[in-house]
Structures are given as structure tokens and as C-alpha cells.
Structure 1
């Protein structure tokens, strides 16, 4: 590839040359996007877990009883 500063293969979806700066940047960008999506999914799972725990606490406060949080741990509030 004569001019490694410009990669014409991007439009064709072919494998790219490892010494092409554009291809290296594109690969790095794709990896960062993938990592970002994974972190967003992790965050969404944690948010759902927090919401479930908050609902469990609300039920405990309302009933004064014992509620399992799904992790195998039961919590009791002595009133």
C-alpha cells in the first residue's frame, strides 16, 4: 500500500493493512465503542438491581416482615 495515510479499502469492508493509521484508528474506535456498550449494559443491570432492592426495602418497611432480595439473603426489620 503506497500511501498508508489513506486507506481506500474502508468503503469495501476488506481486511486492512496493519500499518495503515486510518485502519488502526478505526479498530481502536470500534474497540472503545464495544467497551462503552458493555459498560452501559452493566450500568443498566446495576440500576435494575438497585430498583429491585429499593422495592424490597419498601415492602419490608410496609410489612415489618422478612423479604428475600433474590440473592439468598433474607432481611428482617424488628419494629
Structure 2
């Protein structure tokens, strides 16, 4: 499953970071940023391109300038920093 939505104007997200970000980064108007909130694939479907397909399908019609991926570090799998 995959879920996301446009980040609303005036969102508090950027104020909750451990370090401040410039206004030009944090400015939201309800269309600028799409937040990818959830992307999950059951164990038996992993390794078959399911997550890639869900990601492409969800973002296929997005016209936002950027996409914000929300990840809890302890739950991220297959990600490197």
C-alpha cells in the first residue's frame, strides 16, 4: 500500500526538524510539496518490484515541485544514508 497527499500551506512539519531550514525551503502553498507518507509491501511480495510499482503509480500524476519522503529511521528497510 502507498499513501500520500499535498503538504498544506502553513504546515508545522518544517519547524519540527532538529535543525532550522531556510524560508525558501520551508515555504508551502498546498501545491509545492507532495508528502509520501506510507509505502509498505508485505513480506511475500518483497523483492518483486512491488514497492517500485506502487511508488511510480502514486507519484505518476503528481505535479508538485518536490516529494517529501517521510521515514522513521528504525523502520526503514533497504535504505542507506
Structure-1-length-normalised TM-score: 0.22
The structure in which a higher percent of residues are strand is 2
The structure in which a higher percent of residues are helix is 1
Tell which has more relative contact order, 1 or 2 (C-alpha 8 A, sep 6+). 2
Greater radius of gyration (CA): 1
